[in-house]
Amino acid sequence: MTGIVSFLYNQTLTSINTATPDLEGDRTLTAKYEDVKCRFQLKTGSITHKSGKELQYRGVIFLAPSYSVVEGDRIIYSGETYVVVGIETRYNFQGVADHTQLYVA
């Protein structure tokens, strides 16, 4: 892992899951990643979604930019399930992706 915050990745997400529809139209959770090193901060706040809607979050997760996470993905951490409501990629001074911040509700 690289980046200025990589030394802070001292916690582990159990899994990052995506919801995919099955043949009957029901949504099934499928694990995209397991045992993901991260930094998880319980923190409440709000972000403005690209649609202009204000969304509430209850945690922020910092992880390496190599993970492909989308809004709506489910994250399991410490026995709790969180939903990704916002994603922000942070860049270093050279313009290279340094880390990704996930806002979860």
Helix (H, G, I), strand (E, B) or coil at 66: coil
Query: Is residue 75 assigned to a domain?
Result: yes
The closest alpha carbon to 37, from 71, 74, 2, belongs to 2
Cα pseudo-dihedral 37, 91, 94, 2, rounded to 10:
0
**pLDDT tens for each residue of 11-46:** 999 999 998 887 887 888 899 999 999 999 999 999
CATH code: domain of residue 16:
2.40.10
58 domain residue, yes or no:
yes
Per cent of the chain over pLDDT 90 is: 75
Query: Which range of residues forms the domain containing residue 29?
Result: 6-104
Q: Can you tell me whether residue 10 is helix, strand or coil?
A: coil
The total of structural domains in the chain comes to 1
Q: Provide the token pair at 86.
A: 């916002």
Kindly state whether residue 1 falls inside one of the protein's structural domains.
no
